[in-house]
Each structure stands twice: as C-alpha cells, then as structure tokens.
C-alpha cells in the first residue's frame, strides 16, 4: 500500500516540527512529550542503554593500569625524600670537612689567636678532642653525586611507561583474558624495537618495580643512616608523578 | 575479585562512593567507576572519532588515572572532566589520523560470538550509528546530554559553546533524528 507522497511529506513535516525547545528538553530528561515521538524516545533509550558485556571487556586492563600507576606514583613520591636525604648528606659532609679543616688548622696553631680560641671552645663543646683528621665516626661521606640514578634502563616518560605496563600486562596475559589488540601490540613492538624484543622489554620495564616490595636502597650506595624518617605515606599522593603534558584541568578550566 | 560482568549500571551513589575510593587508591572503586562510565565514553567517542573509539577510550582513562589525585570535585564535575578529556583525546586522534595514511582495517569484527554480540548491541549500535550521522555539533550535543547525562552548562563548557547554542544544537539534532526514525 502506498501513501500519496504529499501525505507522507505532511506526516513527516508535522512530526519533525513537534520537536521544539520544550520537547527537546523533555526528551533529554527522559520524558515522552507526545506519542508521535515514541520512535525518537526508543532511539534515545537505546543510545543510553545499560552497558553491553562487550563494552566492559577492557575492565581488567584498565584496573591493571590503575594499579600500575598507583605503584609508580608511590615510588615517585618517595624520590623527593631521597633527594632531601642526599642534600642533608652533602651538607653534613661539607660541614665535617670545614670543621675538620678548622680542627687541623687549630691544632697546628695556624689560626689567628681569636679564631684559635674560638675553635677550642667550639670543639670542646662538641666533646671532640681537637686534633684529629676525622673528628667523629663519620655518619656520612659526601653524597656520591656522580652515582648513577637507580632508575630502570628503559627510559620512557612515566605516563608512557604506565601505558606500556598495561600493554605488557595484556601481552603476557596477566591482565586476564583480554588480549592485546593489534594496535596495542604494534605500539608495544615499536617501543620494544621489534616483536622479538617485547619479552625482554617488558621484563626490564616491570623488573625493577615488580611486586609491591618495600622501598629498597639500591646496592652500591651508602646506607642512609642520616636520612630523616621520610613521610612517605604522607607524600604519596601529594606529588603528581607526571606533569609533562598540559592537561585539561579539573572542572572549571576553559578547554582549549 | 572475579565478578560477572554486570549489565546493570552502578547507581549514582555507588559511583560517587567509587570516585572517592578510587581517589584513595582503591582499585575496586576505580573498577566500579570505570564500569559505570566507560559505556557512555565509548559511545560518545564512537560518534566523535569512529572506529578507534576503544583505543581513544583507553587513552582517556590512562589520562584520568594519571591525574586523578589532582582532580577535586564531585561526581558531576568528574563526568564533565572525563568527557572533556575524552574529547581532547578524540581530537588528538583525528589529527594523528589526518597526518598519516590509514592502516588496513582491523579484522577483529569476526569474533566467535559475533552473532550474540550483534543481537545484544543491535539497538545501541544502531542508535549510536544514527546519531553519528548528524552534523558534528548536534551529534556531540545529543550524546553528551542524553547518553553521558551532562547538563547544559557542563556540555557547553566541554564543547566551548554558549549554553543557548547547546540547547539549540540538541533540539536540532533531536528534530533531525525524529525525521530519521
């Protein structure tokens, strides 16, 4: 059965014109302003329907990325305290050198009389017998400023590293059954310098950080006997681990 | 913590609690938040960027994960923040694609349970597909307001428009859709 073209046109026009400002806002709010908008209602309800299982397939990878980032953030937050410890060590070492130098000078009587007197007062106050090259059992030598940083050999930006960790998880299957998709695999391979490089790349990336082990002082560095008790838990979320990219700020900032 | 994939969306109060938990570093809270908002993000991105919507959604969440401790606000502003990031990522992706030849189309479509997936998602996929045929500003306004559930002011902020323009774009989009169904 065919309706005349003019009638079809009239129906369509009438229906279209029923969506005015009021109807539109009511439709957005989930209402049905009129029976002739039932089909549109159905469309919008379908668009906003509850999640299909397929849409939630990436949950494990997302949560794995969340965990990985939290681990990294906690580690990054510890870095400043290490740096503070380093500064303290350097300062202490410097002070000892100066003090030691003064002590030597004082012992050999090379200081002016006033200074000599001052030095004696100072040293006796400290309970240190004036002449000795090492006035106290040294708690810390000057910090090894040339020591290599205890970072993994894979140098990538932290945010990328989180992404890569997620891909590595997906790739190795530890993130669950969700496999790494083609694009992810391609990007991972290019980061690893080829498909063959993925295993070692991922293990290098995850290796130094894997597990939730407590902070370990890297071997080869002097123990931090002088390090102030670091407020690690307090700074854990205080320091954003990455800020290399301008991001759309939290609510309120103007976009673009 | 193996749970069946829920099809029921978490309630708003659940999500508000989940947001706070996620900000405290709780992976379960983050998982709830993700489940509650990922579908809308994915559908919105499908309209804006098309095929790579899932990749862009992943990038969006990575960004959220990275900056979550710097976010301060309630669930409503979190939604706005989330979709703002999604939009930025989508525009980045469009720029990337414009600057390089498109790769061969993916073959993942032939999943084993394709039929079941198709049946399950037919309605939603059809609706999102139809909305994506609208002019971009109307399509985005409809998706952000109807699917993401954002208010006019938040949508206007994300799209960089005045609230009045968002209302008009929404109305025109709905009017056009009414003519298509």
Cα–Cα–Cα angle for B49, B79, B20, rounded to 5 degrees: 135
Task: Report the pLDDT averaged over residues A178-196.
Answer: 71
Scored b (16 or more CB within 10 A) or e, A182-202 reads eebbebbbebbeeeeebeebb
Query: Residue A248: is its pLDDT beyond 60?
Result: no
* Phi, psi values for residue A244, rounded to 5°: -80, -15
Report the C-alpha dihedral over residues A65, B55, B16, B125, rounded to 10 degrees.
-140
What is the C-alpha radius of gyration for chain B, rounded to an integer number of angstroms?
17
> Between A16, A28, A55, which is nearest B146 by CB?
A28
Query: Residue B146: is its pLDDT beyond 90?
Result: yes
What pLDDT sits at residue A121?
57
What pLDDT sits at residue A136?
44
Domain boundaries, chain B: 11-100, 124-181
The rounded mean pLDDT for chain B is 88
What's the length of chain B?
181
Query: Residue B85: is its pLDDT beyond 50?
Result: yes
| pLDDT single digits (tens) A188-216 | 777 677 777 777 767 766 655 443 333 33
Retrieve residue A66's tokens: 């969340």
What's the length of chain A?
256
Where does B124-181 sit in CATH, by number? 1.10.10.10
What pLDDT sits at residue A117?
58
Q: Alpha carbon of B176 to those of A37, B2, B32, B147: distances in Å?
A: 12, 44, 35, 17
The answer to whether B67 and A240 are in contact (CB under 8 A) is: yes
What pLDDT sits at residue A181?
72
Alpha carbon of A217: minimum distance to chain B alpha carbons (Å):
25
* Phi, psi values for residue B97, rounded to 5°: -65, -35
Query: Residue A145: is its pLDDT beyond 60?
Result: no
Among the listed ranges A34-43, A246-255, B65-74, which one has the minimum average pLDDT value? A246-255
List Cβ neighbours of A93 (8 Å cut-off, separation of 6 or more). A140, A141, A142, A143
Of residues A204 and B28, the one with the higher pLDDT is B28
Burial level of B155, CB count in 10 A (0-12/13-18/19+)?
buried
% pLDDT > 90, chain A: 19
DSSP string over A174-235: TT-S-PPPHHHHHHHHHHHTSGGGHHHHHHHHHGGG-S-PPP-PPTTS---TT-----HHHH
What pLDDT sits at residue A185?
75
* Phi, psi values for residue A78, rounded to 5°: -80, -25
A-to-B residue pairs, Cβ atoms closer than 8 angstroms: 190
What pLDDT sits at residue A134?
41
Of residues A88 and B79, the one with the higher pLDDT is B79
Class of domain B11-100 as given by CATH: mainly alpha
For residue B173, what is the nearest residue in chain A, using CA coordinates? A24
For residue A39, what is the nearest residue in chain B, using CA coordinates? B181
Alpha carbon of A7: minimum distance to chain B alpha carbons (Å):
15
Round to the nearest angstrom and report the end-to-end CA distance of chain A. Answer: 54
When pLDDT is cut at 50, 70 and 90, the band that residue A115 belongs to is low
When pLDDT is cut at 50, 70 and 90, the band that residue B111 belongs to is very low
Is B179–A247 a contact, with Cβ atoms under 8 angstroms apart? no
Using an 8 Å CB-CB cutoff, list chain B residues near A183.
52, 55, 106
Is B124-181 the same fold as B11-100? no
Task: Report the pLDDT averaged over residues A113-120.
Answer: 58
When pLDDT is cut at 50, 70 and 90, the band that residue A175 belongs to is low
Alpha carbon of B124: minimum distance to chain A alpha carbons (Å):
5
Q: What is the DSSP letter of B132?
A: T
């Amino acid at each position: 059965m065919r309706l005349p073209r003019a009638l079809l046109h009239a129906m369509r026009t009438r229906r279209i014109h029923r969506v005015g400002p009021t109807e539109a806002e009511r439709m957005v709010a989930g209402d049905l302003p009129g029976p002739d908008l039932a089909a549109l209602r159905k469309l919008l309800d379908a668009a906003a329907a509850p999640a299909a299982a397929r849409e939630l397939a990436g949950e494990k990878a997302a949560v794995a990325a969340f965990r990985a980032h939290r681990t990294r953030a906690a580690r990054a937050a510890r870095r400043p305290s290490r740096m503070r410890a380093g500064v303290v060590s350097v300062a202490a070492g410097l002070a000892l050198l100066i003090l030691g130098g003064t002590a030597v000078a004082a012992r050999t009587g090379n200081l002016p009389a006033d200074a000599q007197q001052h030095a004696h007062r100072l040293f006796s106050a400290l309970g240190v017998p004036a002449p000795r090259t090492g006035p106290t059992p040294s708690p810390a030598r000057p910090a090894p400023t040339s020591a290599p940083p205890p970072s993994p050999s894979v140098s990538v930006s932290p945010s990328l590293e989180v992404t890569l960790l997620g891909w590595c998880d997906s790739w190795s299957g530890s993130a669950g059954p969700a496999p790494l998709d083609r694009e992810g695999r391609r990007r991972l391979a290019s980061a690893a310098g080829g498909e063959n490089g993925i295993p070692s790349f991922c293990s290098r990336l995850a290796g130094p950080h894997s597990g939730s082990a407590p902070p370990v002082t890297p071997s080869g560095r002097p123990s931090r006997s002088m390090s102030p008790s670091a407020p690690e838990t307090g700074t854990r979320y205080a320091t954003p681990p990455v800020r290399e990219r301008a991001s759309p700020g939290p609510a309120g900032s103007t976009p673009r | 913590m193996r749970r069946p994939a829920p099809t029921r969306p978490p309630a708003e109060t659940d999500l508000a609690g989940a947001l706070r938990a996620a900000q405290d570093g709780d992976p379960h809270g983050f998982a709830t938040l993700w489940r509650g908002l990922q579908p809308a993000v994915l559908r919105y991105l499908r309209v804006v960027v098309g095929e790579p919507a899932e990749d862009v959604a992943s990038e969006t969440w990575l960004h959220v994960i990275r900056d979550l401790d710097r976010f301060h606000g309630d669930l409503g502003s979190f939604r706005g923040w989330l979709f703002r990031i999604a939009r930025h990522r989508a525009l980045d992706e469009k720029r990337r694609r414009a600057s390089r030849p498109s790769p061969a189309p993916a073959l993942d479509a032939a999943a084993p349970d394709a039929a079941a997936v198709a049946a399950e998602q037919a309605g939603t996929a059809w609706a999102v597909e139809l909305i994506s045929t609208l002019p971009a500003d109307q399509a985005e306004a409809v998706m952000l307001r109807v699917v993401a559930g954002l208010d006019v002011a938040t949508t206007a902020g994300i799209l960089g428009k005045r609230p009045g323009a968002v209302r008009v774009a929404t109305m025109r989009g709905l009017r056009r859709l009414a003519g298509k169904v």
